[in-house]
């Protein structure tokens, strides 16, 4: 029982949880990227906009979407750990204090930035998807 490495302490960070996947692998097709994220520490809400906590997920090589807010869609939890409210997308916005259920897509960096809107307990799984379009030419997995 327990961990076999006493005093092993995890770093304070967000990590890809149980999965990262896509709906299709075909060129020039609309695609849904699905992510599951877990924080190893409780993330406390910041009251000052300039001090907001953000998470940037990158390396979506050549995915196409206009720079700006993108809608986040809820993913139902089908297996543990299911430690979240019915819709974990409500904890994220595209800007500090912004509209829930959005992330900010940066087309020049192929990245998605999420700003926390509320406190998030440690080891809570947040699962959501967002839309992009696949590039025109084939490429290897990043």
Note the pLDDT tens digit of each residue in 20-48.
889 999 999 999 999 888 888 888 776 66
Q: Say what the pTM is.
A: 0.83
- Backbone phi, psi, residue 35, to 5°: -125, 150
Instruction: Please state the rounded mean pLDDT for residues 41-58.
Output: 78
pLDDT at site 79: 66
- Residue 89 in contact with residue 82, Cβ under 8 Å? no
Three-class SS state of 72: coil
d(CA 89, CA 102): 8
Q: Which of 72, 100, 74, 102 is nearest to 87 (CA)?
A: 74
């Amino acid at each position: 029982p327990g961990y076999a490495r006493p005093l092993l302490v995890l770093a304070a960070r967000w990590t890809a949880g149980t999965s990262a996947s896509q709906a299709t692998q075909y060129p020039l097709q609309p695609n849904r990227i699905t992510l599951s994220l877990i924080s190893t520490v409780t993330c406390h809400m910041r009251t000052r906009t300039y001090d907001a906590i953000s998470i940037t997920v990158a390396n979506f090589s050549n995915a196409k979407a206009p720079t700006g807010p993108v809608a986040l869609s809820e993913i139902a939890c089908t297996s543990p750990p299911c430690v979240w409210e019915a819709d974990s997308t409500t904890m994220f916005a595209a800007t500090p204090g912004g509209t829930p259920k959005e992330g900010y897509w940066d087309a020049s960096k192929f990245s998605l930035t999420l700003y926390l809107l509320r406190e998030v307990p440690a080891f809570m799984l947040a699962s959501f998807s967002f839309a992009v379009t696949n590039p025109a030419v084939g490429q290897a997995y990043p």
